[in-house]
Structure 1
Amino acid sequence: MTQPNPFRYFKSSPDIIRQAVMLCVRFPLSLRNVEDLLHK
């Protein structure tokens, strides 16, 4: 049985989503700080 794609509803790349989640979990950053880091 194939596993459904968890990123199917997002327009962003799965790599960008994984990076944002990793930053939020590993460091005490707000979503706005993570957004600023990924924008640079």
Structure 2
Amino acid sequence: MINPFRYFNSSPEVIRLTVMMYIRYPLSLRQVEDLLSERGIDIC
């Protein structure tokens, strides 16, 4: 099975958390980025 995260620099856990927040809550990507930065996760 091919790893779906092979082209990303972030860990799979961070990617899953970001996608979950974006889908679960009515947030923009900028708001998700702000929430992650408050948790100390830098995705840029």
TM-score by length of 1: 0.90
Structure with larger Rg: 1
Q: CA RMSD in A?
A: 0.4
Gaps of 5+ in 2: 39-44
Structure 1 runs of 4+ aligned residues shifted over 2 Å read none
In structure 1, what is the Cα distance between the partners aligned to 2:30 and 2:17? 14
Gaps of 5+ in 1: none
> Number of residues paired by the alignment?
38
AA paired with 1:39? Answer: S
TM-score by length of 2: 0.83
